[in-house]
Amino acid sequence: DNDPRAVPRVFVAFRFVALASTRPAALSAVHPGGSEPAPAARFDAMGKEKKEKKDKTPSKSKEDSDGGDGELRPVCAIAKPLADVGFHKKILKVVKKASKHKQVKRGVKEVVKALRKDTKGLCVIAGDISPIDVITHIPILCEEAGVPYIYVHSKEELGAAGQTKRPTSCMLVLPDAQKGGEKMSSDDASEFKDMYGKVVSKIKSLD
């Protein structure tokens, strides 16, 4: 009884018992019914879920970008000549300007009909169309009609430039206004003619 070391042993034993008695209550307060996993297990599970979500999110690759890094999205095998990034943007500017004044034919049916009537213009074809059978006859008709054509890498961007919300497989840009269409001002017409001429010249140089 007079041993001074007896007091620390009693104190340590009392503390151990107190901790053992309070721990289940604390855990039950955090996880009532014991249905949820322990914090460490839940942390591991959350970590696994986050990792899976991260893996499911597609990363933006160079092939899916046209932000000036010189890379284009994958296109079909017949997409030649194919515009590079810089030329792609210039072509879409011409399409956009022509579309505002209704100087375009949109879609395979309209383009084919115009080409068979020997309508002159610039044919822009989306290179990421699938199946490619939809557009395989377009270049042949263009060559027979003497119409220059060029492939771009995105049907979505071609549709947006053509003032439509739908992806577009091809467009025929007309050099002059159609009947009933809104004519460009003299300044706009001069600017469009210059842009159109440069694009056509560049396409011919790619042959």
Q: Is the peptide bond before 139 cis (omega within 30 degrees of 0)?
A: no
Residue 3: predicted pLDDT: 52
Distance, CA of 173 to CA of 150 (rounded, Å): 11
Residue 137: predicted pLDDT: 95
- Amino acid at position 175, single letter: P
The two three-digit tokens of residue 186, written as one number: 């003299």
The two three-digit tokens of residue 23, written as one number: 């721990």
Residue 148: predicted pLDDT: 96
Provide the residue-wise pLDDT of the chain in tens; the chain has 207 residues: 555 555 555 454 555 555 555 554 444 444 455 455 555 555 555 555 555 555 554 444 443 444 444 455 678 888 999 999 899 999 999 999 999 888 999 999 999 999 999 999 999 999 999 888 999 999 999 999 999 999 999 999 999 999 998 999 999 999 987 776 677 888 888 899 999 999 999 999 986
Residue 169: predicted pLDDT: 95
The region, left, alpha or beta by phi > 0 then psi within -120 to 50, assigned to residue 109 is alpha
The beta strands (E) that lie in the chain are given as 104-106, 122-126, 149-152, 170-173
Specify whether the CB–CB gap between 84 and 172 falls below 8 A: no
What DSSP character marks residue 74? -
The two three-digit tokens of residue 169, written as one number: 């497989």
